[in-house]
């Protein structure tokens, strides 16, 4: 499973900015990073991890 915090920090984004860019509820992102929740969307997170910019651009167009 991808390390969501590491992905976010690699982009230099706040939790709020990352959640907004990738359309993840902020509370969900915080839960993942704090280990209280485990991503059920791990396939989506793997795509983001491998294609950070492409995923963000695709979501902007949607």
First-residue to last-residue Cα distance in the chain: 26
| CATH number where 30 lies | 1.10.260.40
pLDDT digits (tens, 9 = 90+) for 52-61: 778 778 777 6
Domain count, the chain: 1
Return the pLDDT at 27.
95
Domain membership of residue 8 as a residue range = 4-61
Q: What is the pLDDT of residue 5?
A: 93
Q: Give the integer Cα–Cα distance in Å for 28 and 5.
A: 12
The 10s digit of each residue's pLDDT in 3-54 is: 889 988 988 999 999 999 888 899 999 998 998 877 676 777 777 777 777 8
Give phi and psi for 35, each to the nearest 5.
75, 10
With 70 as the cut, is the pLDDT of residue 1 above it? no
């Amino acid at each position: 499973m991808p390390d969501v915090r590491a992905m976010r920090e690699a982009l230099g984004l706040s939790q709020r900015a990352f959640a907004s860019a990738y359309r993840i509820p902020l509370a969900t992102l915080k839960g993942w990073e704090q280990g209280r929740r485990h991503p059920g969307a791990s396939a989506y997170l793997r795509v983001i991890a491998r294609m950070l910019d492409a995923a963000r651009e695709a979501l902007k167009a949607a």
